[in-house]
Structure 1
Amino acid sequence: MISDERYLMLYVKIAEPEGYGKPIEVSLDSLADVLYCTQRNVKLIVHKLEEEGFIAWHAGRGRGNRSRMTFLIPREKKLLELAQHYASKGEYKHAFEVIDKYGEGTSVRNQFVEWMNGHFGYRTELIDDEEADILRLPVYRPILTLDPKHIYYAFSAHMVKQLFDCLVQYDRDAGKVVPSLAHAWEHDAGGKRWTFHLRKGASFHHGRDLVAEDVVYSFERLRGSASGWFVRSFAEVKAAGPRTVIIKLESPNWLLPRYLCSPGMSIVPHELVQQDEDFWLHPVGTGPFRYVEWRNDRFIMDANPHYFQGRAHLDGVVIVNMPEDTIIFAKNWEQLIVDHDLRDLQPEQGWQKIEYICNGCSLLTWNLGKDGPQRSIPFRQAIDLLIDRKQMIADLGEDRIHPASGFYPSEQSYRQGECTNVERALELLRECGYQGETIRISTYGIHVQDAEWLRRYLAGFGVNVEVQVESWLTIRDQHVIQNADCLLYCVVFAEDEVCMIELFEQTGNFLREHLSSELLEWVEKKIDLALGIKDPEQRWFEWMDIERKLKEETHVIFLLHKKLNTFYNPHIKGVGVNSLGWIDFKDIWLERAAAN
């Protein structure tokens, strides 16, 4: 492909504005400047380009007679072919780089993304002369980590679940915790001593069988990390033989089995993590898929043939990291569509659709550690009363579906979220002495549209808002969190009770970072109280008491509940959306047409 890029380099520098098909006078000196080489090498390059059919070359004869070069292939055509070639080899980053380098002023980028739509999906390919069922999926944000102890985002958690397993897993359909790496477990009467028995035959991808030491190490290494809150009450974790693990708690925790379902508590091979600081660049777990390759433009994994819960039907999965701005072209793919950020999609005729209300909401959290109007309860209450959530839904549409007055979607939340009281809100603004100071909303990605709506809407009531746009990475910088008056984002509760706790206990969580130390201390006591209650219904009252306090004192402004859509080809079977809002890869398979 060297000749292709040289052709495009010459085209961009020499052919414009005449274009292809017209002789253009050139000199060897000018060509040497463009190609950054000697005149001798220029002659070799020109000869090769002519030989391969890129150009026609008419050498100038005699002093003062310039040579003429005719470009025989349109720039857009050659550039699109080159980008498609790189993509077909899996070099997606390189494909976009050449488009950005040589495609200015053309529509090649859009054409390429449209072509990529057909490149994604479920395909049967020949690999080493054998058929392999491969699923290619686009994503529009990078995998930030594959280390269970550093998980913040649902996408990273989903990928961790493909490579690793937990002691137990939650069966959403049955509504109960079921075996995984542990085949059985028991606890004492007080809920403070738990014993887990590991199954035989569960092995890591490098071939070693799982042992109790792996479990002990996996839990102990969480202390002090983002996932350290899982083990906050762990007094001791010890191995009682090669396949038995005992967990002793400082206080009762009847939610411990649900904790142990979380990707943050995945089990890792102790010796590999201890020996290799770069383990997370080539992770090894027990999960249904094995790591193959991880670059900044793609992540590749293949099926674990020895998976203890049965081999995946797929042979491999390729996750392609697409530029964020290409999401607008991602329509009508002949594939599974699983990204939460896709907008206005309609399924092809005969496709199936999974639609459901996302278990969570969008919200604003106020920074109580910074001086400003947001530290005043009346000010926060005024903003809450001013926001017309139904109007917000009407104006912005798309996946926004119901007003929110709490974390969880429910008819009560929808009704209470509709309440506005402009007169009372303006009265509260006067009471707190608000003088039009600017309030900074920091946000990122798909939430920018909501923040801009709030800026325009609140300006009509004399509330000045500045929107600070960050990326998925920079939004977590401490200076961003500390300097924001409030943050706008979404919470998704993959596991109801456990995710509620995570909001307040996970280091770096936005809500935790913005609450006062006094309130966090009160919440922690409520959490410990709830964990000691065995009855789920009684425990639920404690969670709702925390939500009530957040709402009454307006530490949080609940905005909207959203819906998630997944469209898929009906010939693709085993499609099910997991608690993280993603399709489980393991059970997907393609129904092939029956032979006549």
Structure 2
Amino acid sequence: MYKEILKTPNINCKNFCLKKFVKYSTQFCFISHFFILVAKYSEIARVFKLLKILELLCLVSKKLPLLTISILTIFFFLSCNNKLPDKIYNEKSGGTFKWFITDPVEQLNPINILYSSDMVAASLIFEGLVGYGQKVNEFVPLIAESWQILDNGKRYLFNIRKGVKFHNNPCFKNGLGRDLVLDDIVKTFERIADPKNEGPFWPLFSKKILGIDEFHSGKLKTISGIRKINNTQIEFTLTKPFVTFLSLLATPGAYITPFEAWDVYKEQIGSHPVGTGPFRLAVWNPVEEMIFVRNESYWGKTNEGNRQPLLDEIIIKPHSNPLIIYSELIKGENFLHYMNPSNLKKIEKAKEFNEQFKIYKIDNGLSFRFFGFSFNRKLSPISNVNLRQLIKHNLDKKLLMNDVEENFVFANSVVPGFLYDRQGLILNKNSEQNKTNPEITYSTTQRLEILSSIHSEDIKMLEKALNKLNIKHKVNILPNKYYQEITEREPDIFRVSMTPVYPDPEEYFNLFYSKNHELNLMHYKNSEFDEIFEESMFEQNPEKRTKLFIKLEQILNNDLPCIPLTHEAERYYAFPKFVKGLIIKNSIPDFRNVWLDKP
């Protein structure tokens, strides 16, 4: 039994101790229950000592009265823990949350996380200085309990929370997680900037923190813009007053990790996650299940003063078939299920469904789908803006109604409307004029190359429009390494779906910023656009920033480097009524206050 625990550092102590003690005489039921309570609040490593003491007590039980044994046990507990827990877990504590997801988790190295399933799993294990709130541009304290924005947004001073511990893990001495220190924060950002680890989050921080690019190039040995003030305060100095800096700190790339994990696991760090979050990874079988157990050392507390998280464990299982996942919801084996509007309409009127389940609604999603045009192909007819406008206004978007039913809305602009006030934004004012433009002249040998990862309804809609305009074309479907193919082949037209890393208009306009070579797949260049976009990155006044966004939208509407197709609409999640305390932030569930109201 001891070997089983050593192989599984993240164990459910209560269940383990119960099985271990049940074989002993009923006259020791008081001690058994006491040990279960002890195991629930003790460090994992101390469970071994408790088990040995229990066996010793059982051997001498015939010689010692019950009261003496109980007193000895209590003294041992006090010597291990110094004090009793601040507050006992209440009746809301405990239980296993079961959740099916459509895609398996691939890797959990924070600086390389891209996919939604990876983000969900990482949010259980890791934390950054700040996190997203439930509203746009709302942030909540995590590792940093408070912060100050100084020098008109150019300096950020963070007060680091005391008592934040990393999970127990073999990378630490004796396997016991240690307290987080400021060096962990410093080294986390040095890893982001290290060329050896360069991942998708590096462009987000590049040129923003003072000295981070010099560290990246090897000119500096430290990042000059990150400074430890004392043992609990750390300051970030930016190159300019970037408005979205807190948004960047809330992304997975800025999750704080211990240097020991990187030293021990090296390139395998993505398979051995170590963080400060509310849960620890106990079991990971990529194609079958992941089991996350409660982090007993987590710093968080509920509003009532009870320790977070309340759940014992979360079990996540991948399955690619949505119908199977839905059936598991009905059977009571899946406690959270994403539903598109069309499916929801079919079942929400059913009495049995409403008696057992509730619906959680997120008003707006963030994903954006569009057709992009390659501006590098100067000899292509697609370089003519009139042709691009003709294609746009001959698209019959009614053909996308199935997509709309699947939780999308037609996009008339690049940025979703809920991210900023659109008053004063006038788009498509020349729609009818564009439809009646003179015919575009081009050589009959010229043919448009269209690239897509799938032969979707929107591609069929595009083909229909091109046929109507008598434009020759060829559609190439390339499901593998699709974005690499866009970069290398530079097709005339290509289909793109994107979800921003953080919820801000900046992320959408960044797609057309000429200095962002990685995201600007169109190779679009407009000096006026770039100038206004850069101004919006530093404008601290929300109203002035909104006016800049309106100007950017109007420029894109005139130049048309892309045709907006759809934005994500409302998102719906069904869950059993016995699941309590669930909230979703930036499309990711927060499980810290979740509890199960059932026997």
Q: TM-score range by the shorter chain?
A: 0.5 to 0.7
What is residue 153 of structure 1 aligned with on the other side?
115
SS of alignment partner, residue 521 of structure 2? helix
Q: Given the alignment, which residue of 294, 309, 334 partners 2:300?
A: 309
Going from structure 1 to structure 2, the CA distance change for 1:532 and 1:561 (only over 3 Å counts) comes to closer
Q: How far is the alpha carbon of 1:384 from its aligned partner?
A: 1.3
2:405 maps to 1:379: no
Aligned CA distance change for structure 1 residues 453 and 590 (closer, same or farther; 3 Å): farther
Instruction: Tell me whether 419-428 or 287-296 shows the greater mean CA deviation.
Output: 419-428
Report Cα offsets for 1:300-333 as digits up to 9, x if no partner: 322222222232222222332324xx33554352
Contact 2:341–2:406 (8 Å) recurs in 1: no
What is the CA-CA distance between 1:553 and the residue it aligns to? Answer: 0.9
Matches of 2:191 and 2:463 in 1, distance apart? 43
The answer as to 2:180 corresponding to 1:210 is yes
Retained in 2: the 8 A contact 1:313–1:587?
yes
Residue identity in the other structure for 2:292? M
Q: Aligned to 1:451, which of 459, 463, 474?
A: 459
Which residue in 2 is equivalent to 1:281?
Answer: 271
**Equivalent residue number for residue 54 of structure 1:** none
- Residue of structure 1 in register with 2:209 after alignment: 234
SS at match of 2:123: helix
Q: Offset at 1:455?
A: 3.2
Matches within 5 A, 1:216-365: 216-223=186-193, 224-231=198-205, 232-235=207-210, 236-277=225-266, 278-297=268-287, 298-310=289-301, 311-323=308-320, 326-332=321-327, 333-334=329-330, 335-339=334-338, 344-345=343-344, 346-347=347-348, 348-350=353-355, 351-355=357-361, 356-365=363-372
The answer to whether the 8 A contact 2:426-2:554 is kept is no
Deviates most, 136-145 or 299-308: 136-145
Checking the alignment, whether the CA contact within 8 Å between 1:378 and 1:429 is kept in structure 2 is no
Pairwise CA distance, 1:574: 1.9
Contact 1:359 1:408 in 2 (8 A): yes
How many residues align? The count is: 460
Partners of 1:167 and 1:260 within 8 A in 2: yes
Look up the SS of the partner of 2:584 in the other structure.
coil
**1:565-576 matches, cutoff 5 A:** 565-576=572-583
Instruction: Go from structure 1 to structure 2 and tell me whether the alpha carbon gap of 1:396 and 1:249 turns closer, same or farther (over 3 Å shift).
Output: closer
SS of structure 2 residue aligned to 1:135: strand
Task: Name the SS of the counterpart of 1:309 in structure 2.
Answer: coil
Change (3 A) 1:497 1:570: same
Shift of 1:343: 6.5
What TM-score, normalized to structure 2?
0.67
SS at match of 1:331: helix
Q: Which moved more, 1:564-573 or 1:169-178?
A: 169-178
Q: CA deviation at 1:463?
A: 4.3
Structure 1 residues not aligned, in runs of 5+: 1-124
2:370 and 2:468 map into 1 onto residues whose CA distance is: 21
Instruction: State whether residues 367 and 486 of structure 1, in contact with CA within 8 Å, keep that contact through their aligned partners in structure 2.
Output: yes
Does residue 198 (structure 1) correspond to residue 166 (structure 2)? The answer is no
Would the aligned equivalents of 1:140 and 1:322 in 2 still touch at CA under 8 Å?
A: yes
Counterpart residue type for residue 462 of structure 1 = N
Alpha-carbon separation, structure 2, partners of 1:216 and 1:437: 53
- Do 1:168 and 1:179's aligned partners in 2 also have CA atoms closer than 8 Å? yes
The residue type equivalent to 1:549 in the other structure is I
Contact 2:451 2:486 in 1 (8 A): no
Q: d(CA) in 2 for partners of 1:498 and 1:158?
A: 23
Offset of 1:252 from its aligned partner?
1.9
Residue 184 of structure 1 corresponds to which residue in structure 2?
146
Distance 1:428 1:352, change over 3 A: farther
Corresponding residue number in structure 1 for 2:221: none
The percentage of counterpart residues that share the same residue type is 20
The answer as to whether partners of 2:339 and 2:574 remain within 8 angstroms in 1 is: no
Q: CA deviation at 1:167?
A: 0.8
CA deviation profile, 1:322-355 (whole Å, cap 9, x unmatched): 24xx335543523344447797353523322234
Q: Which is strand-richer, 1 or 2?
A: 1
Equivalent residue, structure 2, for 1:389: 397
Which secondary structure does the structure 2 equivalent of 1:344 belong to? helix
1:537 to 540, 543, 555: 543
Given residue 304 of structure 1, which amino acid in structure 2 is its aligned partner? N
Q: Per-residue deviation at 1:555?
A: 1.0
Shift of 1:570: 2.1
Is residue 166 of structure 1 aligned with residue 161 of structure 2? no
Deviation per CA, 1:98-123, whole angstroms, max 9, x where unpaired? xxxxxxxxxxxxxxxxxxxxxxxxxx
How far off is 1:239 after superposition?
2.2
Give distance in 2, aligned partners of 1:443 and 1:508.
23
Distance 1:262 1:300, change over 3 A: same
Structure 2, gaps ≥5 residues long: 1-13, 20-92, 169-176, 211-224, 302-307
Q: TM-score, normalised by structure 1?
A: 0.67
Shift of 1:434: 7.5
Deviation of 1:136 (Å): 3.0
8 Å contact from structure 1 (residues 368, 375) kept in 2: yes
